[in-house]
Amino acid sequence: MIIVTGGAGFIGSNIVKQLNQSGRNDIIVVDDLTDGTRFKNLADCTIADYYDKDEFLSKIQANESFAAAIEVIFHAGACSSTTEWNGQFMMKNNFTYSKHLLHYCLSHQIPFIYASSAAVYGAGRIFKEQPEFECPLNVYGYSKLAFDQYVRRLLPTAKSQIVGLRYFNVYGPRESHKGSMASVAFHLNNQAKNDGIIKLFEGCDEFGNGEQRRDFIYIDDIVNVNLWLFDHPSVSGIFNVGTGRSQSFNDIAHSVQRVHPLAKLHYITFPDHLKGRYQSFTQADISALRAVGYTESFHTVEEGCAKYLDWLETQL
Protein backbone atom coordinates (compact mmCIF):
# COMPACT_ATOMS: atom_id res chain seq x y z
CA MET A 1 0.00 0.00 0.00
CA ILE A 2 1.22 3.50 -0.91
CA ILE A 3 -0.03 6.70 0.72
CA VAL A 4 0.05 10.06 -1.07
CA THR A 5 -0.90 13.10 0.98
CA GLY A 6 -2.01 16.10 -1.04
CA GLY A 7 -3.00 13.46 -3.56
CA ALA A 8 -5.58 15.70 -5.23
CA GLY A 9 -3.05 18.51 -5.56
CA PHE A 10 -0.56 19.32 -8.28
CA ILE A 11 2.44 17.19 -7.40
CA GLY A 12 0.48 14.55 -5.49
CA SER A 13 -1.96 13.78 -8.31
CA ASN A 14 0.88 13.46 -10.80
CA ILE A 15 2.58 10.97 -8.49
CA VAL A 16 -0.68 9.00 -8.28
CA LYS A 17 -1.09 9.04 -12.06
CA GLN A 18 2.42 7.80 -12.73
CA LEU A 19 2.08 5.10 -10.08
CA ASN A 20 -1.07 3.95 -11.91
CA GLN A 21 0.85 3.88 -15.18
CA SER A 22 3.46 1.66 -13.55
CA GLY A 23 0.75 -0.78 -12.46
CA ARG A 24 0.12 0.40 -8.90
CA ASN A 25 -3.49 1.01 -7.88
CA ASP A 26 -3.16 0.20 -4.17
CA ILE A 27 -2.94 3.88 -3.27
CA ILE A 28 -4.51 5.80 -0.40
CA VAL A 29 -5.02 9.47 -1.20
CA VAL A 30 -5.15 11.98 1.64
CA ASP A 31 -6.36 15.51 0.98
CA ASP A 32 -8.84 18.26 1.83
CA LEU A 33 -11.55 18.53 -0.80
CA THR A 34 -13.30 21.54 0.70
CA ASP A 35 -12.63 22.96 -2.74
CA GLY A 36 -14.47 20.20 -4.57
CA THR A 37 -13.25 21.29 -7.99
CA ARG A 38 -9.93 19.61 -7.21
CA PHE A 39 -11.54 16.20 -7.73
CA LYS A 40 -10.67 16.65 -11.41
CA ASN A 41 -7.04 15.85 -10.67
CA LEU A 42 -8.07 12.37 -9.53
CA ALA A 43 -10.87 11.68 -12.00
CA ASP A 44 -8.60 9.73 -14.38
CA CYS A 45 -6.66 8.02 -11.57
CA THR A 46 -7.35 4.75 -9.76
CA ILE A 47 -7.06 4.69 -5.97
CA ALA A 48 -7.86 2.15 -3.28
CA ASP A 49 -9.11 4.58 -0.62
CA TYR A 50 -9.42 8.24 0.31
CA TYR A 51 -9.07 10.00 3.67
CA ASP A 52 -9.73 13.59 4.60
CA LYS A 53 -6.51 15.05 5.98
CA ASP A 54 -7.97 15.52 9.48
CA GLU A 55 -9.37 11.98 9.57
CA PHE A 56 -6.00 10.65 8.44
CA LEU A 57 -4.16 12.65 11.10
CA SER A 58 -6.46 11.22 13.77
CA LYS A 59 -5.55 7.69 12.67
CA ILE A 60 -1.87 8.54 12.70
CA GLN A 61 -2.04 10.13 16.16
CA ALA A 62 -3.92 7.09 17.48
CA ASN A 63 -1.20 4.87 15.95
CA GLU A 64 -3.85 2.89 14.09
CA SER A 65 -2.95 0.36 11.43
CA PHE A 66 -4.24 0.35 7.86
CA ALA A 67 -5.75 -2.40 5.71
CA ALA A 68 -2.34 -3.36 4.33
CA ALA A 69 1.29 -2.69 5.12
CA ILE A 70 2.42 0.78 4.05
CA GLU A 71 5.41 0.74 1.70
CA VAL A 72 5.96 4.51 1.57
CA ILE A 73 4.30 7.81 2.38
CA PHE A 74 4.74 10.52 -0.24
CA HIS A 75 3.93 13.61 1.79
CA ALA A 76 3.04 16.23 -0.85
CA GLY A 77 0.28 17.87 1.17
CA ALA A 78 0.86 21.44 2.39
CA CYS A 79 -0.31 25.00 2.18
CA SER A 80 1.92 26.25 -0.63
CA SER A 81 0.81 29.87 -0.86
CA THR A 82 3.79 32.21 -0.62
CA THR A 83 1.39 35.11 0.00
CA GLU A 84 -0.31 33.53 3.04
CA TRP A 85 0.81 35.41 6.17
CA ASN A 86 -1.21 33.55 8.81
CA GLY A 87 1.78 31.96 10.51
CA GLN A 88 -0.28 29.92 12.96
CA PHE A 89 -2.21 28.32 10.08
CA MET A 90 0.96 27.77 8.05
CA MET A 91 2.91 26.13 10.84
CA LYS A 92 -0.01 23.87 11.80
CA ASN A 93 -0.38 22.65 8.21
CA ASN A 94 3.23 22.45 7.10
CA PHE A 95 5.20 21.84 10.28
CA THR A 96 3.12 20.19 13.00
CA TYR A 97 1.18 17.93 10.63
CA SER A 98 4.42 16.80 9.01
CA LYS A 99 5.97 16.00 12.40
CA HIS A 100 3.11 13.64 13.26
CA LEU A 101 3.52 11.78 9.96
CA LEU A 102 7.28 11.62 10.34
CA HIS A 103 7.15 10.05 13.79
CA TYR A 104 4.53 7.53 12.67
CA CYS A 105 6.81 6.53 9.80
CA LEU A 106 9.85 6.26 12.06
CA SER A 107 8.01 4.13 14.60
CA HIS A 108 6.82 1.75 11.86
CA GLN A 109 9.99 2.03 9.71
CA ILE A 110 8.04 3.35 6.71
CA PRO A 111 9.95 5.38 4.08
CA PHE A 112 8.90 9.05 4.25
CA ILE A 113 9.43 11.26 1.18
CA TYR A 114 8.19 14.80 1.69
CA ALA A 115 7.94 18.09 -0.17
CA SER A 116 10.18 20.89 0.97
CA SER A 117 10.79 24.01 -1.12
CA ALA A 118 13.43 26.24 -2.66
CA ALA A 119 11.62 29.05 -0.81
CA VAL A 120 13.91 28.23 2.12
CA TYR A 121 16.74 30.04 0.29
CA GLY A 122 15.02 33.40 -0.01
CA ALA A 123 16.87 36.02 -2.04
CA GLY A 124 20.25 34.33 -1.84
CA ARG A 125 22.36 33.48 -4.85
CA ILE A 126 23.68 30.13 -3.62
CA PHE A 127 21.17 27.27 -3.55
CA LYS A 128 22.94 24.49 -1.70
CA GLU A 129 21.45 22.34 1.07
CA GLN A 130 23.42 23.97 3.88
CA PRO A 131 22.17 26.20 6.75
CA GLU A 132 24.36 29.19 5.85
CA PHE A 133 22.44 29.63 2.58
CA GLU A 134 18.93 29.39 4.06
CA CYS A 135 17.03 32.63 4.69
CA PRO A 136 13.34 32.50 3.64
CA LEU A 137 11.43 35.63 2.61
CA ASN A 138 7.96 34.51 3.76
CA VAL A 139 6.29 32.35 6.39
CA TYR A 140 5.66 29.59 3.86
CA GLY A 141 9.40 29.29 3.28
CA TYR A 142 10.00 29.39 7.02
CA SER A 143 7.50 26.57 7.66
CA LYS A 144 9.40 24.40 5.22
CA LEU A 145 12.77 25.34 6.67
CA ALA A 146 11.59 24.64 10.22
CA PHE A 147 10.60 21.10 9.24
CA ASP A 148 13.86 20.54 7.35
CA GLN A 149 15.74 21.60 10.49
CA TYR A 150 13.65 19.19 12.55
CA VAL A 151 14.42 16.38 10.12
CA ARG A 152 18.14 17.13 10.20
CA ARG A 153 18.19 16.47 13.93
CA LEU A 154 16.58 13.05 13.46
CA LEU A 155 18.38 11.83 10.34
CA PRO A 156 21.53 10.53 12.08
CA THR A 157 19.58 8.02 14.18
CA ALA A 158 16.71 7.21 11.78
CA LYS A 159 16.24 3.51 11.02
CA SER A 160 14.18 4.10 7.88
CA GLN A 161 14.29 6.38 4.85
CA ILE A 162 13.58 10.10 5.27
CA VAL A 163 13.90 12.35 2.24
CA GLY A 164 13.09 16.04 1.91
CA LEU A 165 12.85 17.43 -1.62
CA ARG A 166 13.38 21.14 -2.13
CA TYR A 167 11.35 21.78 -5.26
CA PHE A 168 12.22 24.76 -7.41
CA ASN A 169 9.68 26.30 -9.84
CA VAL A 170 7.46 23.40 -10.88
CA TYR A 171 5.07 23.62 -13.83
CA GLY A 172 2.92 21.20 -15.77
CA PRO A 173 -0.44 19.39 -15.93
CA ARG A 174 -2.93 19.34 -13.02
CA GLU A 175 -2.04 22.71 -11.50
CA SER A 176 -5.00 24.87 -12.57
CA HIS A 177 -6.63 24.67 -9.11
CA LYS A 178 -3.69 26.60 -7.64
CA GLY A 179 -5.08 29.90 -8.93
CA SER A 180 -2.60 32.73 -8.42
CA MET A 181 -0.01 30.19 -7.20
CA ALA A 182 -0.07 28.28 -10.52
CA SER A 183 3.05 28.45 -12.65
CA VAL A 184 4.20 31.27 -14.90
CA ALA A 185 3.69 28.98 -17.91
CA PHE A 186 0.05 28.40 -16.95
CA HIS A 187 -0.70 32.11 -16.49
CA LEU A 188 1.12 33.28 -19.60
CA ASN A 189 -0.69 30.72 -21.71
CA ASN A 190 -4.04 31.95 -20.38
CA GLN A 191 -3.09 35.56 -21.06
CA ALA A 192 -2.04 34.78 -24.62
CA LYS A 193 -5.13 32.70 -25.29
CA ASN A 194 -7.69 35.04 -23.71
CA ASP A 195 -6.22 38.52 -24.21
CA GLY A 196 -3.53 38.22 -26.87
CA ILE A 197 -1.09 39.91 -24.47
CA ILE A 198 1.63 38.27 -22.38
CA LYS A 199 2.54 40.30 -19.31
CA LEU A 200 5.86 40.09 -17.51
CA PHE A 201 7.45 42.29 -14.87
CA GLU A 202 9.82 45.04 -15.85
CA GLY A 203 13.38 44.68 -14.63
CA CYS A 204 14.21 44.51 -10.94
CA ASP A 205 17.40 44.05 -8.96
CA GLU A 206 20.10 43.73 -11.64
CA PHE A 207 17.83 42.04 -14.18
CA GLY A 208 16.35 43.55 -17.33
CA ASN A 209 12.72 43.36 -18.43
CA GLY A 210 11.53 39.78 -18.15
CA GLU A 211 15.08 38.61 -17.51
CA GLN A 212 14.52 37.54 -13.93
CA ARG A 213 15.67 33.93 -13.87
CA ARG A 214 14.31 30.84 -12.17
CA ASP A 215 15.06 27.15 -12.18
CA PHE A 216 11.85 25.98 -13.89
CA ILE A 217 11.31 22.23 -13.59
CA TYR A 218 8.68 20.17 -15.42
CA ILE A 219 6.37 18.07 -13.25
CA ASP A 220 7.37 14.76 -14.87
CA ASP A 221 10.92 15.31 -13.64
CA ILE A 222 9.64 15.89 -10.10
CA VAL A 223 7.66 12.65 -10.17
CA ASN A 224 10.61 10.72 -11.58
CA VAL A 225 12.80 11.81 -8.66
CA ASN A 226 10.13 10.76 -6.14
CA LEU A 227 9.71 7.32 -7.68
CA TRP A 228 13.46 6.80 -8.01
CA LEU A 229 13.82 7.47 -4.29
CA PHE A 230 11.01 5.00 -3.59
CA ASP A 231 13.09 2.43 -5.48
CA HIS A 232 16.22 3.36 -3.48
CA PRO A 233 15.18 3.17 0.18
CA SER A 234 18.78 3.37 1.41
CA VAL A 235 18.96 7.01 0.27
CA SER A 236 18.06 9.60 2.91
CA GLY A 237 18.67 13.33 3.21
CA ILE A 238 17.48 16.72 2.01
CA PHE A 239 17.96 17.39 -1.69
CA ASN A 240 17.35 20.18 -4.17
CA VAL A 241 15.14 19.16 -7.08
CA GLY A 242 15.60 21.51 -9.99
CA THR A 243 17.21 21.27 -13.39
CA GLY A 244 20.47 22.83 -12.25
CA ARG A 245 20.11 25.70 -14.73
CA SER A 246 18.21 28.96 -14.60
CA GLN A 247 16.16 30.31 -17.49
CA SER A 248 14.44 33.64 -17.90
CA PHE A 249 10.75 34.45 -17.76
CA ASN A 250 11.23 35.65 -21.32
CA ASP A 251 12.12 32.07 -22.29
CA ILE A 252 8.71 30.92 -21.07
CA ALA A 253 6.99 33.81 -22.84
CA HIS A 254 8.70 32.90 -26.11
CA SER A 255 7.64 29.26 -25.69
CA VAL A 256 4.05 30.43 -25.27
CA GLN A 257 4.37 32.66 -28.34
CA ARG A 258 5.30 29.62 -30.43
CA VAL A 259 1.81 28.29 -29.69
CA HIS A 260 0.12 31.72 -29.80
CA PRO A 261 2.20 33.64 -32.38
CA LEU A 262 -0.11 36.67 -32.42
CA ALA A 263 0.28 37.31 -28.68
CA LYS A 264 2.29 40.43 -27.87
CA LEU A 265 4.76 40.66 -25.00
CA HIS A 266 4.21 43.56 -22.59
CA TYR A 267 6.24 44.52 -19.51
CA ILE A 268 4.45 45.92 -16.46
CA THR A 269 5.74 47.88 -13.49
CA PHE A 270 7.23 45.71 -10.76
CA PRO A 271 4.70 45.76 -7.86
CA ASP A 272 5.68 47.48 -4.63
CA HIS A 273 4.25 44.73 -2.42
CA LEU A 274 6.71 42.20 -3.86
CA LYS A 275 9.83 44.31 -3.41
CA GLY A 276 12.13 42.57 -0.95
CA ARG A 277 9.91 39.45 -1.02
CA TYR A 278 10.64 38.19 -4.50
CA GLN A 279 13.17 35.67 -5.76
CA SER A 280 14.62 37.25 -8.89
CA PHE A 281 17.02 34.37 -9.36
CA THR A 282 17.02 30.68 -8.48
CA GLN A 283 19.25 27.88 -9.73
CA ALA A 284 19.40 24.57 -7.94
CA ASP A 285 22.71 23.07 -6.99
CA ILE A 286 21.83 19.43 -7.70
CA SER A 287 25.23 17.98 -6.88
CA ALA A 288 23.88 16.24 -3.75
CA LEU A 289 21.12 14.54 -5.75
CA ARG A 290 23.61 13.45 -8.39
CA ALA A 291 26.01 12.20 -5.69
CA VAL A 292 23.45 9.68 -4.38
CA GLY A 293 23.04 8.22 -7.86
CA TYR A 294 20.26 10.09 -9.68
CA THR A 295 21.41 10.33 -13.30
CA GLU A 296 18.27 11.18 -15.30
CA SER A 297 18.22 14.36 -17.39
CA PHE A 298 15.74 17.21 -16.89
CA HIS A 299 13.52 19.01 -19.41
CA THR A 300 14.56 22.45 -20.61
CA VAL A 301 11.90 25.18 -20.49
CA GLU A 302 11.44 24.79 -24.23
CA GLU A 303 10.93 21.02 -23.98
CA GLY A 304 8.71 21.14 -20.91
CA CYS A 305 6.56 24.01 -22.13
CA ALA A 306 5.99 22.30 -25.48
CA LYS A 307 4.60 19.23 -23.68
CA TYR A 308 2.60 21.27 -21.21
CA LEU A 309 1.02 23.60 -23.75
CA ASP A 310 0.06 20.62 -25.90
CA TRP A 311 -1.61 19.07 -22.84
CA LEU A 312 -3.45 22.30 -22.01
CA GLU A 313 -4.91 22.36 -25.51
CA THR A 314 -6.58 19.00 -24.81
CA GLN A 315 -8.38 20.30 -21.68
CA LEU A 316 -11.90 21.67 -21.67
Q: Are 225 and 294 in contact (CB under 8 A)?
A: yes
- Which is it for the CA torsion 135, 187, 14, 223, positive or negative? negative
Strands 197-201 and 247-248: unpaired
As a whole number of angstroms, the distance between CA 174 and CA 155 comes to 32
Q: For this structure, is 53 an active site residue?
A: no
Could you tell me which of 157, 188, 182 has the C-alpha nearest to residue 170?
182
Residue type at 210 in one-letter notation: G
Active-site residue among 51, 104, 140, 142?
Answer: 140
Q: For this structure, is 307 an active site residue?
A: no
DSSP category for residue 180: G
Active-site residue among 99, 128, 178, 193?
Answer: 178
Gyration radius (Cα) of the chain, Å: 19
As a whole number of angstroms, the distance between CA 312 and CA 316 comes to 8
- As annotated, the active-site residues are 140, 178
